[in-house]
Amino acid sequence: MIKTKLLGKHKKGCLSLKNYNTRIWDTPWAYLKKAVWLDKSGGKRGRFHKYRWWIVICNDSDCDARILVKEDDILNQISR
């Protein structure tokens, strides 16, 4: 199971969420924006935190939705 943490909700009328809900797209998320180092739960930032999380943004350019995805979970999905 992929561990995620929601940073910002989809706006009302988000096109990518609409396409996802009608099963046109497999996911409403577009791409990886950048990596951040956080603790295991995706909380505090700091130089001693050893878990790498990726910020993934919504596929609709007008929507500000973002989630954190744990890098280990992404790599596990790729290696399957």
pLDDT (tens digit per residue) in 29-53: 887 778 888 888 787 766 667 888 8
Q: Report the DSSP pairing between strands 51-58 and 66-70.
A: antiparallel
> Does residue 27 carry a pLDDT above 90?
no
pLDDT, mean over the chain: 85
Q: Is the pTM of this model over 0.85?
A: no
CA distance 53 to 39: 9
- Work out the burial of residue 71: count CB atoms within 10 Å of its CB; fewer than 13 is exposed, 13-18 middle, 19 or more buried: middle
The encoded tokens of residue 59 equal 């596929």
Q: d(Cα 32, Cα 2) in Å, to the nearest integer?
A: 15
Q: What are 55's two structure tokens?
A: 């910020």
